[in-house]
Amino acid sequence: MNFIAMDFETANRYPESACSLALVMVRDNKIVDRFYTVINPQMPFDARNIKIHDITADDVKDAPTMAEVWSKIKDLYQPGMLVAAHNARFDTNVMKKSLARYGIDEPHYLVIDTLKTSKTFEPNLTNHKLDTVSNALGVKLWHHHNALSDSEACAGILIKQNQKFGNEAIKNLIYQL
């Protein structure tokens, strides 16, 4: 499989407050590249979110905005590109709303949600949170809620599921954004 695993963290409860992003590029079921950045959301941080991901306003004060990050990554988001995320509805919404703040149109690409694939392929787990699924499949999650760690874990989950269940089973869970 060829895909990008994506994960965002947000500064507060608003999806347009992206404060970090990681992308993990997978080619032929192998991680071949990684991208990580903090993002200046130009919005206040909530203590609850800081407690989750440990990113503060001070950490991002000199970081690029989402518009500046987008200029570096936009070519990855093409109509035929498959993007994976664990709870993809959250991450794709963060992408959409964060770009919309800067008048940037939402890109069109293919999406697969490893939360959904895990519910389909691993129905007997106690829950389908990223850490639970990673642990069950033997996928390394070195720092939960660090965007790079979460993206790597998402990629690892989809690779293992593809190896175990095959391309056709995976294809049935892909949707267009």
Q: What is the pLDDT of residue 34?
A: 98
Q: Which residue has the tokens 């293992």?
A: 160
**Yes or no: is domain 3-176 CATH 3.40.50.300?**
no
Kindly give the confidence (pLDDT) of every residue in the chain, 177 residues in length, as a single tens digit, with 9 standing for 90 and above.
999 999 999 999 999 999 999 999 999 999 999 999 999 999 999 999 999 999 999 999 999 999 999 999 999 999 999 999 999 999 999 999 999 999 999 999 999 999 999 999 999 999 999 999 999 999 999 999 999 999 999 999 999 999 999 999 999 999 998
Q: What is the pLDDT of residue 177?
A: 87
Long-range contact pairs involving 19-23 (C-beta distance under 8 Å, separation at least 24): 19/45, 19/49, 19/53, 19/55, 19/60, 20/53, 20/55, 20/146, 20/147, 21/69, 21/147, 22/146, 22/147, 22/148, 22/149, 22/150, 22/151, 22/152, 23/73, 23/76, 23/151
Question: Which helix or strand (DSSP H or E) is residue 136 part of?
Answer: helix 130-137
The domain spans of the chain are: 3-176
